[in-house]
Every structure is written in structure tokens, then in C-alpha cells.
Structure 1
Amino acid sequence: MDEDICHVVEDTRVSLIIIPFHKQITVDGGMETAIPTLRTINQNVLANAPCSIGILVDRGLTGSTRLAVNQVGHHIAVLFIDGPDDREALAYAWRMSEHPGIKLTVVRFLPGFHGQEEEDRDKEYEKEMDAEIISEIRARASGDASVIYKEKFVNNGQETVGVIRSMETIYDLVIVGRGAGQTSLLTAGLTDWSECPEMGGIGDLLASKDFVATCSVLVVQQYVGAEVFGEAGTPDSPSRQLHDRPFDLVRRTSPQGITQP
């Protein structure tokens, strides 16, 4: 089935697909495996799909309720640390927030006094990209009441978890980057006891039965190989689309909340 998904992606040239987490919420608020084979399918899609991918942990977000054009109904949070997956998560949330019924909060985690890391020249480009997208979201937050930007200073993974747990009941949907290949003192130790490593350290925490929350979770992985397809390939990821079309997506020009090209 994962091969079928990848073929559909290639045929339709979509830039992002969302697939369901292999666990579902139970009546008592826990999480249990619904379709065991779905986990393997998801892992293969993450490894092979020629587009960005989101894994959705649905805790009621996709129910029968549908937002009217001017209805304020969902509060979304993005937890941003660093790297391409986090930028992709933020870019996708940015586009979702064009709907007037969406309120967006961006929480950026920054190293505290004891969380400073040694300079790494290989990360300089990533830091510049992070700074660019954060600068744009801060500018938008200063003039748009539906967008909130916050900074949280933490020194280690334990403090990061503490901040995240304080948000358990605030948001309807939390969007995070998978953080594949990323290392940071701010997430140190989060993957040591991961039940689902394919979700990333923070995504696994948010999806675990130990996380007492009612919010749904979307874990995003950026696709970075779009260039190899040439003109016939899949479109660039949401974050690249935003980079090519500077952050002018604050205007809300369509009933569906999607800005037209």
C-alpha cells in the first residue's frame, strides 16, 4: 500500500500528504493500536514518498464539525526548535491560519543560559533559514490578532517537556516537525525511550498515552529532493513555496482560506 501512495504522489504532484497515525484514541482518553500494519506503511512512506509528509494523531479534530467562513473555532500551536522539518511545520500552519476561523500560536524554544551549544558551521545555513521564517512570523504577529508568537527559554530536554506539558489542554491541534537527523540539547533524552521513533522525539511524546491531552497532533517531515524530478516532478514543499513567494499569505482572499496564486 505504501507503494500505491508513493505512485499517487508522483502522478498528482502533490507537495504534502497527511497519513493517519497507527493508533487511535480510546474512550478513556488513552491510545491503542487500531491497524498494526499501518505503522509499517507509515514508516515506508516516510522513507520513500517524494513529497512532504504529515502524520496525524486524531483526538477528535476530524469530527463532523466544519468551520463556517467567519467562525473562530480552532486554536493551533506550532512548537518550533530548529531545522527543516520545523520550518515545514510552521509553513503549513501558516497556510492553515489563512482561514479566519483559525487562531495560530507559534512557540519557539530557545537555549537558556545553560543550554547554549558550541558553534557549528554546518548549522549556520539552517540557523539563517530559521531566523528568516521566524522574522516573518514575528512581523505578522505584531499586526494580526489571530497570530501569537512566544519564546520559551529552556536548558535541556526535561525543561522542554515541562513547557510542553503545560500546554496539554490549551490547543486543538499541535503541529511539530519530526526533526529527523537533528540534534539539540533542547531535545536531549527525548528519543531514549521513544515508543514510536518515526514520530520524532516531541511527536512521540505528544502521541504517547502518558501525555494527558485532548489536542490532536500533526508531525511533519519536509521533503528536500524535489529538484530531481525536474518540471515533471512534485511541487516544492510548503516552506519552499513560502520562500519563493515571500510571506504575503496574510491576506485571506478565498472562502476556503487559501490564497490564490
Structure 2
Amino acid sequence: MELRILACIYHQDSTPCIIRLLELTNPTAKTPMCCYAVHLVQLTGSLVPHLVHHEPGKSAKFHAKDSSHIINAFRLYEQECNGNVVVNLFTSISPFSTIHEEVCRLAAEKSTSLVIIPFHKQWRLHGIKNIVEARSVNRHILDMAPCSVGILVDRGTLSASKNNNLYEIGVLFAHGRDDREALAYGLRMAKHSKAALTVIHLIDLARTSQDYHEMELDSDIITEYKIESAAKRRHSYRQESVNDCVELIRLITSVENSFDLILVGRSYRSRSPLFEALTEWSEFPELGFMGDILTQSDSRCRVSVLVVQQQISGA
């Protein structure tokens, strides 16, 4: 089936990373992809909010700053995909207090499976750019999106040219629906010829209660990955047992710079003290436990991270 993704962009600097992420999503003739790329522009003054569709071959009546660079980059990407990707380009000009409504409406209207949004802190050569207003936009999208959501923390490792080398992608898998969604995305990436996927399965020894239905679903997707990767040397799987949050943090920091991209789930429905303790010093709750550890101000992680939240029922 065609995979439909809505990719949001606050600043043109995010474009290379998002395009590389779409490329690694592995669009092919059998598994095509439709991308809706939306440049989010904060409305100022007394202008009326509106959504501009940049149709190919037609000159748009309005171009926001940087929109032309974003449009050209996505058009070039579409051409390079030889018909495996269809790109639809938009500019949304609205107050940031309500722009999430436009994003969610478009996602529902186009029946997208995933919305990708850049993290509000963006690492650049000249320093960290902090789009403060974007943080509340991202939180609203997480709460209201009619599909799954991925927050992309771009540190430049994904968009860097690899020539003939593989892109090393890691999935930190503990349990739960968000981790399953992250691994499902990783499974699609694993079919790309330039992707090497490593799944690190965290065994939570501190968990006091078990949801056997959730455990069965977790086991099913882990088994699917093992079958898919069995004949491919570039993919790997390993289990790591952790007793407490200290061991968890130590494990994450030991592997965090081993990849070009790390995929993690956002939240866990668990009574485990392993995760409950981590909420006490969470700097970015919208990234979940492990996403927060990888992105905190004092983190030594220099790798791009995608934090995935599976669709919230009834959103």
C-alpha cells in the first residue's frame, strides 16, 4: 500500500534531514510513498491565516521566506525517486497558537499514517537554534493528531553524505505500542539497501506487573524483525537486561553515539520503577523517557533521534 507521510518544516535547515529520513523510509514501486510537505510560517500582523498549495507548473500567489528553497529541494527529491514518491507541497501561514489545527486537519483529510515534526531545538554549525513557539505546536500535534507522530531531533548525522557506507540505525525497544510503532518504522527502513538496523531489546527486570496481551504484541514484532533480518548480516539484534534507571541510562549512553539515527517510542504504560524514576528530572516530556535522555542539555549524544508516538485512539 501507499504510505502517506505529512512532514512539517519550521526552517529550511531541517529540509535535508527530513528528505534523508523519507529516503530511508524506502519508497519503491511495490511500496510507494506520498509525502505532504508543509512549511509552517508564523502569522504576524493582521493578515488572514491561509494554506497555500504549491502545485507543479503553477506560480503560487504567495511565497514565505525560505519556501522556495524548501519547494525546490522536495521537487528535486521527487524527480530522483523515479515515480516511487509523489510530493505535495504546502505553506501554512497561521498563528502558532492554532497552526496545529491546520496540520491535524490536513493529516486527517489526506489520511496520512505519520506526521513528522522537527524538535523545537535545532542543532546547526553556528550553534543551537531554539524555535520557542514550536514547542507548544509540537505538543498540540502530539495530543490531537489523527495518526502516528514522529518528533525528529536533527543533529546532522542523518543528512551527512555517506557515499557507499551504510546508515547505522538503532532502535531502543523496551515495550508498548509506541516502541512497536518505532520498530515498525525501523522494519521498513531495514529493507533499504543502505540501512543497517540494530535492535536493542531492553528487558525491564524492575517491572512488577505484566500485561500479557501487550507482551504478546511485543513478541510478535520482535519475531517479525528476527525473521526479516535473519539472512542479512548488516542487521543485528541483542537483549540487554536493566534493573534500575541508573543501569538504563548507563546503557543508553554507552550506545548513543554508535548510530546515525536512533528510533525510540515516546511513552510506556508501565508501573515499572525503571521509568517512573526518570520522570523526576525530565527536561523534555514531549520526547518521552528515552528521547529525553538522548536530548537533554547535558547529554553527550550527537546523533539524530526520532521519537515515535503511535496514533492515540479517538484523537
Q: Aligning the two structures, in what range does the TM-score lie when normalised by the shorter sequence?
A: 0.7 to 0.9
Aligned counterpart for 2:207 among listed residues 109, 114, 117: 117
Which whole-Å CA distance do the structure 2 matches of 1:183 and 1:217 have between them? 25
Counterpart in the other structure of 2:120: 22
- What is the aligned counterpart of 1:129 among 217, 239, 245? 217
After superposition, the Cα gap between the structure-2 partners of 1:104 and 1:26, relative to the gap in structure 1 and judged at 3 Å, is: same
How big is the shift at 1:176? Answer: 0.2
Q: Secondary structure at the match of 2:281?
A: coil
Q: Name the CA shift for 1:143/1:80 in 2 (closer, same or farther; >3 Å).
A: same
Distance in 2 (CA, whole Å) between partners of 1:96 and 1:141 is 12
When residues 87 and 24 of structure 1 are mapped into structure 2, their CA distance, relative to the original with a 3 A threshold, is: same
Asked whether the equivalents of residues 208 and 272 of structure 2 are also in contact (C-alpha less than 8 Å), the reply is no
1:39 paired to 2:135: yes
Greater Rg by CA: 2
Could you say if the C-alpha distance between residues 12 and 160 of structure 1 is closer, same or farther in structure 2, counting changes exceeding 3 Å?
same
2:279 aligned counterpart, secondary structure:
coil
Partner residue in 1 for 2:110: 12
**One-letter identity of the residue aligned with 1:50:** P
Secondary structure of 1:214's counterpart equals coil
- Structure with the largest fraction of strand: 2
Mark the CA change 1:78 to 1:131 in structure 2 (over 3 Å): closer, same or farther.
same
1:204 is matched with 292
Structure 2 match to 1:60: 156
Q: Does 1:104 align with 2:192?
A: no
2-side partners of 1:189 and 1:47: how far apart? 24
Q: Provide the TM-score with structure 1 as the length reference.
A: 0.77
Q: C-alpha distance in 1, partners of 2:270/2:206? A: 16
Q: Secondary structure at the match of 2:215?
A: helix
Give the C-alpha shift of residue 27 in structure 1. 4.4
- 1:129-148 superposed matches below 5 A: 129-148=217-236
For residues 144 and 79 of structure 1, the distance between their equivalents in structure 2, rounded to whole angstroms, comes to: 20
Structure 1: which 5+ runs fail to align? 230-261
* C-alpha distance in structure 2 between counterparts of 1:9 and 1:222, whole Å: 14
Cα distance in 2 for partners of 1:186, 1:140 equals 30
* Greater relative contact order (Cα < 8 A, sep 6+): 1
Answer whether contact 2:172 2:202 (CA < 8 A) is retained.
Answer: yes
SS in 1 for 2:116: strand
Mapped pair 1:50 → 2:146 = yes
Pick the aligned partner of 1:187 from 261, 275, 278: 275
Q: Contact 1:22–1:34 at 8 Å: present in 2 too?
A: yes
Structure 1 residue aligned with 2:9: none
Structure 2 runs not aligned, ≥5 long = 1-98
What is the deviation of 1:209?
2.0
Question: Is contact 1:46-1:53 (8 Å) kept?
Answer: yes
* Alpha-carbon RMSD: 2.1
Could you report, residue by residue, the CA deviation over 1:73-127 in whole angstroms, capped at 9, with x for unpaired residues?
310000000000000000001111211000000000013xxx243344xx11101
Moved over 6 A (4+): none
Instruction: Report if the CA contact (8 A) 2:207-2:274 is conserved.
Output: no
- Residue 186 of structure 1: how far off its partner (Å): 3.3
* Identity in percent: 39
The number of residues matched between the two structures is: 217
CA 1:213–1:166 in structure 2 vs 1: closer, same or farther (change >3 Å)? same
